[in-house]
Structure 1
Amino acid sequence: MYSLKFKSLNAETVISMGRSLSPLCLDGVLIQTSSDLTLGVTPLDVRCSPANSELIMYVNSFTLHRNGTPVAKVTYNRAAQNTNLIVLDVTNNRGRYNLTGNVHDSNPVNKFLRVVVPANLTSCLDEANYTCLLNAQDKDHANYEDQVSRYVGVKTASTAIDGIYTPPTGDNMLDPSGGGRFLMGSTYRFTCTGIVGRPPVNLRWCYKQEGEMGFAPLISYTADITESEPEVYQDCNNRRQSFLNYTMATVDMNTVLLCEPASGMYYCGNGAVNKTFVVRAYSPGGGTYSGCNQCQLSIGLLFTLLIVTTSGVVNIP
Structure 2
Amino acid sequence: MSVKNVHVVIVLYSLIVGIEPLTVQIQATPSDGILGQTSLQLRCSYTAVAGEIVTGVNIQAKINGQFKNIATFYTPSVPLNATLTTDGNYLSNRVTLTNPTTSSTNSAVIQFSQIACEDETEYFCQVAYAGSSGSTTTSSGVANINVTGNPEQPDSEPSYIPSAGIEEGNNVVFTCTGNVGKPQGKFRWVRYRRNPDGDILQETPYESQTTTAVQMPGNCTFNGTSQLTLKMEQLDNNAIVRCQVVYQDVPQGSLYRQTDGINVYYSVRNVQVTKSPIISAFAEGAGPITLTCTSEGNPVVTKTGYTWYKEFNTSVPLGTGPTYVINNVVVSETDNYICVAQNSFNGQTFNMNNSIHIQIDFATTTMTKTETVFTTPNTSSSKTETVFTTPNTSSTNTGTVFTTPNISSTKTDQECSTMVIPILVALVVVLSVLQLGEIISLYILHKKGIVKFKTGKDNKIYDDVNSRNTEKYVYNSMNIAAEGKNSIETITVQMEATPSDGILGQTSIQLRCSYTTVTGEIVTGVNMQAKINGQFRNIATFFTPEVPLNASLITDGNYLANRVTLINPTTSSTDSAIIQFSQIACEDEKEYMCEVAYASLSGATSASSGVANITVKGYQNKKYNPTVNMQNEHIESLQRNYVKLVKETPTDAVVDHLYQSGILTDELREEI
TM over 0.5: yes
Q: Please give the residue correspondences for 1:167-246 in structure 2 after superposition, counting only pairs within 5 Å.
A: 167-168=161-162, 172-173=163-164, 182-210=166-194, 211-212=199-200, 217-220=205-208, 225-228=209-212, 230-235=213-218, 236-246=220-230
Question: 1:154: Cα distance to partner?
Answer: 1.2
Equivalent residue pairs, number: 258
Q: 1:159 is paired with a residue of what secondary structure?
A: coil
- 1:190 deviates by 1.0
Distance in 2 (CA, whole Å) between partners of 1:49 and 1:261 is 41
Change in CA separation of 1:92 and 1:33 when aligned onto 2, cut-off 3 Å: closer
Verify: 1:75 aligned to 2:74, yes or no: yes
1:249-295 CA distance string (max 9 Å, x none):
11123211111211434xx6722x221113221115795278xxxxx
CA–CA distance in structure 2, aligned partners of residues 32 and 262 of structure 1:
31
Q: Contact 1:56 / 1:136 at 8 angstroms: preserved in 2? A: no
2:239 & 2:80 partners in 1: Cα distance?
Answer: 68
Could you tell me which residue of structure 2 aligns to residue 294 of structure 1?
A: none
Query: Are 2:267 and 2:298, in contact at CA under 8 Å, matched by a contact in 1?
Result: no
* Residue identity in the other structure for 2:240: V
Aligned with 1:94 (options 77, 92, 103): 92
Over aligned residue pairs, what C-alpha RMSD do you find? 3.6
Of 103, 119, 134, the match for 1:142: 134
| 1:288 maps to 2:298 | yes
- Structure 1: state its 5+ residue gaps: 5-26, 174-180, 291-296
How far apart in 2 are the matches of 1:97 and 1:153? 17
Per the alignment, in what secondary structure is the counterpart of residue 174 of structure 2?
Answer: strand
Distance 1:113 1:165 in 2: 53
| Match in the other structure for 1:259 | 243
Residue 277 of structure 1 aligns with an amino acid whose one-letter code is: T
Could you tell me which of 242, 252, 257 is aligned with 1:275?
A: 257
Q: Residue 36 in 1 paired to residue 32 in 2?
A: yes
1:63 aligned partner: 58
CA distance in 1, matches of 2:60, 2:126: 8
Cα distance, 1:60 vs structure 2 = 0.8
Higher RCO, 1 or 2 (CA under 8 Å, sep at least 6)?
1
CA distance in structure 2 between the partners assigned to 1:141 and 1:304 by the alignment: 109
**TM-score normalised by L of structure 1:** 0.69
Q: Give the match for residue 154 of structure 1.
A: 147
C-alpha contact (below 8 Å) 1:194/1:203 kept by paired residues:
no
What's 1:165 paired with?
159
1:19 paired residue number? none
TM-score by length of 2: 0.35
Q: Does 1:85 align with 2:82?
A: yes
- The structural deviation recorded for 1:55 is 5.9
Query: What SS does structure 2 have at the residue aligned with 1:280?
Result: coil
1:294-309 matches, within 5 Å, as: 305=355, 307=357
Answer whether contact 1:182 1:281 (CA < 8 A) is retained.
yes
Q: 1:256·1:277 contact (CA, 8 Å) conserved in 2? A: yes
- The answer (yes or no) to whether the contact 1:101–1:112 under 8 Å persists in 2 is yes
Q: 1:124 to 1:213 in 2, by over 3 A?
A: farther
Matched to 1:165, the amino acid is S
Instruction: Please list the CA deviations of residues 223-253 of structure 1 after superposition, one character each: whole Å capped at 9, or x if unmatched.
Output: xx3433x212133121121110011111123
| Distance (whole Å) between structure 2 residues aligned to residue 37 and residue 216 of structure 1 | 36
Equivalent in the alignment of 2:41: 45
Q: CA distance change for structure 1 residues 219 and 33 in 2, over 3 Å: closer, same or farther?
A: closer
**Aligned equivalents of 2:68, 2:76: Cα separation in 1:** 23
Q: Write the deviation string for residues 148-174 of structure 1: whole angstroms up to 9, x where unpaired.
A: 222212111112412312234xxx52x
- 1:122 — aligned with what? 115
Paired residue for 1:12?
none
Distance in structure 2 (CA, Å) of the matches to 1:162 and 1:76: 51
SS in structure 2 of the partner of residue 251 of structure 1: helix
CA distance in 1, matches of 2:207, 2:358: 48
Secondary structure at 2:92's aligned position in 1?
A: helix
Question: What is the CA distance between 1:65 and its match in structure 2?
Answer: 1.2
Aligned letter for 2:92? R
Structure with the bigger percentage of helix: 2
C-alpha displacement at 1:89, in angstroms? Answer: 3.7
Paired residues of 1:76 and 1:84 also in contact (CA < 8 A): no
Larger Rg: 2
Secondary structure at the aligned position of 2:108 is classed as strand
Structure 2 residue runs without a partner (length 5+): 1-18, 269-295, 301-321, 323-337, 340-351, 360-531, 538-554, 559-672
CA shift, 1:64, in A, is 0.8
Whether the 8 Å contact between 1:253 and 1:289 is mirrored in structure 2 is no
Q: Any idea what SS the aligned residue of 1:162 has?
A: coil
Sequence identity (%): 19
Letter of the 1:70 counterpart: N
